Amino acid sequence: MKTAEIKRRFLAYFEGNGHAVVPSAPLPAIDDPNLLFINAGMVQFVPYFLGQRTPPYPRAASVQKCLRTPDIDEVGRTSRHGTFFQMNGNFSFGDYFKEGAIPLAWNLVTRPVSDGGFGMDPERIWVTVYLDDEAADIWQRTGVPARRIVRRGNKDNFWSMGIPGPAGPCSELFYDRGPAYGSDGGPDVDEDRFLEFWNLVFMEYEITNVQSKEVFEIVGGLPQKNIDTGMGLERIASILQGVDNLYEIDEVRPILDRAAQLTGKRYGAGSGPAASESHPDDVRLRVIADHVRTALMLIGDGVTPSNEGRGYVLRRITRRAIRAVRLLGWQERALPELLPVARDCMAPSYPELAADFERISSYAYAEEDAFLATLRAGTTILDTAITETKSAGGRQLSGDKAFQLHDTYGFPIDLTLEIAGEQGLAVDQDGFRRLMAQQRSRAKADAQARKTGHVDMSAYRGVLDSGGPVEFTGYAEVARESTVRALLGAGGAVLPAASEGDVVELVLDSTPFYAEGGGQQPDTGLLTVGAGQVEIFDVQSPVPGLIVHSARVVRGELRAGETAYAEIDIPRRRAISRSHTATHLVHQTMRNFLGESATQAGSLNAPGRLRFDFNTPGAVSPSVLHDIEQQVNEVLLRDLEVSAFLTTQDEARRLGAMALFGEKYGDEVRVVEVGDYARELCGGTHVTRSAQLGMVKILSESSIGSGVRRVEALVGIDAFDFLAREHLLVARLAELYRVPADQVVDRVQQTVTQLRDAEKELEKLRGQLVLGGAATLAEQARDVRGVAYVGTQAPEGTAGNEVRTLAQEIRAKIDPSRPAAVAVVARANGKASMVVAVNAAGKSRGLSAAELVKGALHGRGGGNAELAQGGGLPAAEAPSLLAAVEQAIAASA
């Protein structure tokens, strides 16, 4: 049974049993600060489990895209570990519990294929339960004999996300794959033979202080008992397709086979039956198959390669795949050969991957090209390090250097080992691992510090639970009378009142203040309570449904329960609204000129200005940027009506409304239209007609990461002010150059060219002047215990390359049979630097340029025995550096 068919049957079965079919949320986790990616099928339903939101349906089913990276280094080494996976799940929000979930699962897996089920043999299914009798009794009544029911504790049968949040005991289903896979006796005996494929979680607790799967603290019960199940789609596919593991199912094996074909390998040829007996070639083929598919899914959901966060995970996964291909012997570009295979495997389940493949592939192929360039640069750096190590008589490349190559340049350690070995050098792997461990410890400590989870939201949830969602009225009004529902102080403490000078957070029962979101900055304004006045300087929504105002009591006193008059800063709101509407127009126009792949990757809508980040593989040319700006302003002149309406997600898609990658929308969405020109899902505030923007002036376009560009622009009066200043500047330059305004650019370019030519000539003359005295300085070498020593200062401002050249020139003009050392110091920008050169006879005498530099600069600087340099000391210390080198030579001689 194909994986796409398994997915279809699962959803059809639960839909037929009264479940709402919910689409998979995008892989990037948006609402939870603890997660980079969705790592379980229930993540998008957490607000329903916690009671933060009222679910729109009592029961649901989904096939959720998931990603887990903690065990990324184990991928390929076993037949179980993978990064991307899909989780079939059915969910109940206070509807049915154990007595409903268990029969539903059993009926689906044992129902005949001809009747829409999976047709699994009931005699080969085992179950595990938590240390309670209720689930075991239900399983027995369902048809599972007691001998095939195993009880287990927290480690195996108590489920959570691994972070504070909802949790509960669980029951797992295992399938007996037969004697060929191991010993009989159930899951406690052999989990290779007895393969777990479905976990039914009875969600009834909220936990905190999560230390491990077994160590956590139960805060209390959830508002209602819920069901969360997870059936790994890849796991059940491997069972139903009769293959050994996830790498051999129909959505993965073709990628592995293509990689084997490219590299001339035969999968499985050198491996034993156990995962621990896998040949290195098979491990690499699995890595390639898993990571290429994962990269496809991540880019498909809007993640682009970068050096931090989600983008770094994508970069690491992509580069591990490329590295594995190269280690198998394929030295050409690999992703153009592999990514289309992954697309064809996944498109039956996710047809949008085929429709969007041009965008997806452009990022993937650009990342491979960048990594290949990194490999070339890293190889050059490594070659230099190997040469220095061998010149110094060393036989081992330092762990520091290997770690620097890995951490700074992204150069894989296994390539460092391979290349160093070819040159007869070992690598200090213990030192490398120690530095890697230190880095992981720092990262782990940082991650643990961020694991405050939902408990930090308890004060806000308490306010939400007691009063319900806050009504936002700011679409229709800028002021209203409202009631102060709650006052919160430091740490979320509930306050009865606040006095003049106090800074607090306050919640109103309804508010015209817009909470920061969707790139739009928050409203500011005033709250009047009798004779008292409160300044609102920030507005956020820390919990869905709750709007929290950060406030400073300017005059009088503020008490919970009082009636207040809330009034936003109207000019600020209007300016922000103009910027937000302008962002929609820029977004649509970018797509008009650059194609559908130019999707929004972030934005900032502030008073009078906007920042718009978008995905595109390369820079936008100035001419195209000019055309984009012109088309946006033409739309303003058309004075199109700007309107908003609520509709369903499906209807919004049918109308062609743009949705942003990574954003998670409810079943009811708000669509903002600018005439017939732009249509986008958006919760922000906007103008009523496009002409109210006045003007949009694009200031700049630049790169902010791999495949992500940024446009900054001014809107309205800010744009007019900018152009007025530009006009005055051009007029002044035209006056100075005595040319018409349209010739100013040519004259400025001529001036810049002349200045550059003059600088080059000046540099050339300075170099000649500096080097012209090399012979004289060599003749004046002092004898320091048999060593010809020249210590001199270069003219102030001499460039670093000229200082090195001077030191080498002086050294070359000293009799080579005579041990010699040359030290040249230079001063620039208030700092002193130094270059030391030692000839071959000096090296034989025991002199080292690197040691002389480090001795004079108190450990700073670097190089080799023949040439070294360093700096950073105050310029006044330049003469003392020459004396320090001379003293060191005398001491060593």
Secondary structure element (H or E) that encloses residue 159, with its range: strand 158-160
Convert the pLDDT of each residue in 773-784 to its tens digit.
788 889 889 999
Handedness of CA 740, 746, 750, 755 (dihedral sign): positive
Which pLDDT score is estimated for 273? 61
Q: Enumerate the β-bridge partners of residue 66.
A: 85
Residue 722: count other Cβ atoms within 10 Å of its Cβ.
Answer: 17
* Residue 452 predicted with pLDDT over 60: no
Q: Greater confidence, 607 or 666?
A: 607
Which pLDDT score is estimated for 493? 86
Coil vs helix vs strand at 209? coil
* Residue 472 predicted with pLDDT over 90: yes
Least confident of 50-59, 240-249, 572-581, 793-802: 793-802
Calculate mean pLDDT across residues 420-437: 86
Residue corresponding to tokens 């461990």: 437
Which range of 140-144, 373-377, 760-764 scores highest in mean pLDDT? It is 140-144
Predicted confidence band at 321 (pLDDT cuts at 50, 70, 90)? very high
Name which of 757, 584, 824 is nearest 680 in CA terms: 584
CA 268 from chain center: how many Å?
Answer: 35
Least confident of 103-112, 298-307, 775-784: 298-307
Residue corresponding to tokens 């200045």: 755
Residue 266: count other Cβ atoms within 10 Å of its Cβ.
Answer: 12
Residues contacting 444, CB < 8 A, separation 6+: none
Which pLDDT score is estimated for 354? 93
Which pLDDT score is estimated for 74? 76
Q: What is the pTM (predicted TM-score) of this model? A: 0.62
Least confident of 27-36, 173-182, 389-398: 27-36
User: E-strand spans in 719-841?
Assistant: 782-784, 787-793, 820-828, 831-838
CA distance linking residue 51 with residue 221, whole number of Å: 11
* Residue 808 predicted with pLDDT over 80: yes
User: Which amino acid, one-letter code, is at 12?
Assistant: A
* Residue 564 predicted with pLDDT over 80: yes
Residues contacting 57, CB < 8 A, separation 6+: 19, 20, 93
User: Which amino acid, one-letter code, is at 511?
Assistant: T
Which range of 369-378, 389-398, 680-689, 802-811 scores highest in mean pLDDT? It is 680-689
822 contacts 837 by C-beta, under 8 angstroms? yes
Calculate mean pLDDT across residues 761-772: 69
CA distance linking residue 92 with residue 487, whole number of Å: 35
* Residue 138 predicted with pLDDT over 70: yes
User: Which amino acid, one-letter code, is at 217?
Assistant: E
325 contacts 377 by C-beta, under 8 angstroms? no
Predicted confidence band at 866 (pLDDT cuts at 50, 70, 90)? very high
User: Which amino acid, one-letter code, is at 316?
Assistant: R
CA distance linking residue 296 with residue 363, whole number of Å: 10
* Residue 686 predicted with pLDDT over 60: yes
Q: Is 69 exposed, middle or buried (0-12, 13-18, 19+ CB in 10 A)?
A: middle
Backbone angles phi, psi at 663, to 5 degrees: -80, 145
Secondary structure element (H or E) that encloses residue 551, with its range: strand 548-555
Which range of 206-210, 266-270, 572-576 scores highest in mean pLDDT? It is 572-576
Which DSSP string corresponds to 307-369? SSHHHHHHHHHHHHHHHHHHHTT--S--HHHHHHHHHHHHTTT-THHHHTHHHHHHHHHHHHH
